[in-house]
Amino acid sequence: MTGKRFTADELAFIESHVNSMTHAEIGSAIGRSKNSVRNICSEKGWINRDLEWSAEDIAKLISWYGREGAQGKDTLGLEDLAKQLGRLKSNVCRKARSLGLTLKDRVLETRDAKEAMAERSRRWIAENGHPRGALGIIHSAETRAKLGEKSRAAWVNMREMPLILEARRMKQAKTNLKRYGRAGPPATSNSYSRCRRGVRDDLGFFVRSRWEANYARYLKWLKQKGEITDWEYEPETFRFDGVTRGPYTYLPDFKVIETSGKIVFHEVKGWMDPASRNRLKRFSKFYPDVSLVVVDQKAYLEIERKLSTVIPNWERQ
């Protein structure tokens, strides 16, 4: 209803309740916002008495809160005071707080109040029956012992839950490694426009992108020329034991054996997203003695510029 004109019934309701309800309460009653009610009251000159307290009203309020027992749970008479002042009980309490009449550290529940509440509960159960149908049931010592044992076990499980969840994640990672050769299952969608996953006939195996296929052809060409001894595609997965979140494993794209016998892993990474950056950072921390070459976009395009017309089956975008 925001933005629409107030109806005659709404205006009549506001005018008749402006002295006993707040703008928010009036708005809630008629389905309007607090601000819209405040604006129409200002336009009509209807002053909410919650905003204007006379000296006489304030004196009555101070006198009532100064009486013995007024700070406890027992608030008998407060509703009568609100009626005398022509206000809601909530408005009176709000004004008392603003004047510092309410003690923040007061005891909210006295023993008498608790006993009265318990008596009301007993009467209700006697008339309506126990809500869970357990009226009069008393657990045996054996049952109480079992319940206590289960309760203690539940608390132990709560403390051990992080370890349990970690064990589950590691089990899932091991299963994925066995099935797919990596911690997660193979992706079913393409994240980058340059990717074209699938089996290449000239290579004889599945690759995840056009760039990986071309880099495999580049390594194959280097081997034929005798510049490297051998290479493999995704032959080895490195695990990050002990981690509790983030990547648990890393599978480099290529394993290259140089003519000197040195083993170097190559990663073709045309786009360095945050996940890949974190994985490479963790790899360098866990395996500082393993050599890794990251073939970024600049390095890849330089190889393509020089050798794309020389290497057979080179795929262009």
Residue type, position 97, single letter: R
Q: Which domain holds residue 179?
A: 140-186
Note whether 147 and 139 are within 8 A (CB).
yes
Contacts 24+ apart (CB under 8 A), 192-196: 192/270, 192/271, 194/270, 194/317, 196/315
- pLDDT (0 to 100) of residue 214: 94
Residue 107: inside a domain: no
For the chain, what is the largest distance between any 2 Cα atoms, rounded to a whole number of angstroms?
104
Q: Note whether 176 and 242 are same-domain residues.
A: no
Q: Looking at residue 189, what is its pLDDT? A: 42
Residue 28 confidence (pLDDT): 84
DSSP for 6-20, written as a single string: PPHHHHHHHHHHTTT
* 206 and 182 assigned to the same domain: no
**Within a domain: 67:** yes
pLDDT of residue 314: 93
Do 210 and 288 lie in one domain? The reply is yes
Q: Is residue 317 part of a domain?
A: no
Residue 132 resides in a domain: no
Q: Return d(Cα 263, Cα 138) in angstroms, integer.
A: 73
Strand 198-200 with 205-207, pairing = antiparallel
Do 52 and 150 belong to one domain?
no
At which of 98, 117, 151 does a domain end? 98
The tokens of 175 are what? 């299963």
Q: Go through 35-58 and write b for each residue having 16 or more CB atoms within 10 A of its CB, e for each that does not.
A: ebbbebbeeeebebbbeebeeebe
* Residues of the chain below pLDDT 50: 1-2, 69-76, 187-194
Residue 193 falls inside a structural domain: no
Claim to verify: residue 170 and residue 246 sit in the same structural domain: no
Last residue of a domain, one of 42, 65, 98: 98
Judge if 214 and 288 occupy the same domain: yes
In a domain, 164, yes or no: yes
pLDDT given at position 258: 95
Strands 291-295 vs 263-268: parallel, antiparallel or unpaired: parallel
Q: Cα torsion at 30, 36, 38, 43 (round to 10°)?
A: -110
Residues 173 and 265 grouped into a single domain = no
Verify that 63 and 155 share a domain, yes or no.
no
Q: What's the structural domain count of the chain?
A: 3
Is this model's pTM higher than 0.75 or not? no
Domain check: are 232 and 286 in the same one?
yes
Alpha-carbon gap, residue 58 to 56, rounded angstroms: 5
* Residue 162 sits in the same domain as residue 229: no
Domain boundary (128, 157, 186) is at 186
Identify whether 92 is part of a domain.
yes
Residue 192 is assigned to a structural domain of this protein: no
Mark whether 212 and 148 lie in a shared domain. no
Q: Is 153 in the same domain as 225?
A: no
**Segment 196-224, tens digit of pLDDT:** 778 898 998 888 889 999 999 999 999 99
pLDDT given at position 261: 94
- 63-91 exposure pattern, b = at least 16 Cβ within 10 A, e = fewer: ebbeeeebbeeeeeebeebbeebebbeeb
- Whether 224 and 216 have beta carbons less than 8 Å apart is answered as no
Rounded Cα distance, 317 and 314, in Å:
10
